[in-house]
Homo-oligomer: A and B are copies of this chain.
Amino acid sequence: MTSANKVTYRAVKELVLNRIRSNVWGPGTTLPGEVGLAKELGCARTTVNRAMRELAEEGFLDRKRKAGTTVNAFPIRKASFVIPLISEEIMATGAPYRYALVSREVLPAPPWLRARIGLGTSDRVLHLQCMHYAASTPFQFEDRWINIKAVPAAPATDFSSIGPNGWLVTEVPFSDVEVCFLAGKADSALAEFLAMAAGDPVFTAERTTWLQQTPITFARMTFAQGYRMTTRL
């Protein structure tokens, strides 16, 4: 009876985590090899391997061939944020989502944008400004720039009812993304859109996407006052 219980990789993770937390294996400790642990726990090495691999991914352990597995002194855990579609983020709160196109124009890429995402001097872009609302409350202002050379269909698309994000995602493949968060200051136009005072701080996210070396789009998204991006680790 007692022998038939399978040892799951989750159980191994828990066990190792507990030993770390209870300081049985303090920071810096080199813990037994996979084979040893497998024998101790009565399971296959594969199982131990998966447990340890995940713990390493989560930042608790450092693994090196030959050197072995050591307990990370600083749980420099990776915080993983789900970057949801705005519409879903809003609807998750129970409020209805509303989208509005504010402006649209085709123009040569401005120098700051060229430098920022890597465009040539002759490249043209589609510039969109959009608002996203939770019910009637302003939620996010989106400043979107699309590389026309990379997305020729963009200028012919009507963005008055579908947001650029949703459209791009289904139309254009991409391979690399850079996201960056910062605290900005609302200028008077932005303040009006987001129903706040000019000069107020705004939480800002900037996202650039490429397909192989080609820049696809750059978006600056500013959130209404009080926005917090939260995660549990």
| A→B interface (CB under 8 Å) | 20-23, 27, 73-85, 166, 169-170, 173-185, 199-204, 211, 223, 226-233
Contacts and interface: CB of A to CB of B under 8 A. Distances in A.
A227 to B, nearest CB: 7
A74 B80 CA distance: 17
22 contacts: A21-B211, A73-B169, A75-B169, A76-B84, A77-B177, A78-B82, A78-B83, A79-B80, A79-B83, A80-B81, A179-B233, A180-B230, A181-B229, A182-B203, A182-B226, A183-B183, A183-B184, A183-B201, A183-B202, A183-B227, A185-B200, A201-B202
Given A27-B170, A173-B21, A181 B76 contact: no
A224 to B, nearest CB: 11
Contacts of A230: 178-181
A133 to B, nearest CB: 20
B182 A227 contact: yes
Nearest to A17: B175
Contacts of A227: 182-183
A77 B73 contact: no
A58 to B, nearest CB: 10
A182 B229 contact: yes
A106 B52 CA distance: 40
Contact of A80 (B80, B181, B211, B228): B80
A73 B170 contact: yes
B78 A80 contact: yes
A89 to B, nearest CB: 10
B76 A83 contact: yes
Given A78-B82, A176-B233, A204 B182 contact: no
Contacts of A169: 27, 73-75
Closest 4 CB pairs of A and B: A201-B201, A183-B183, A183-B203, A183-B201
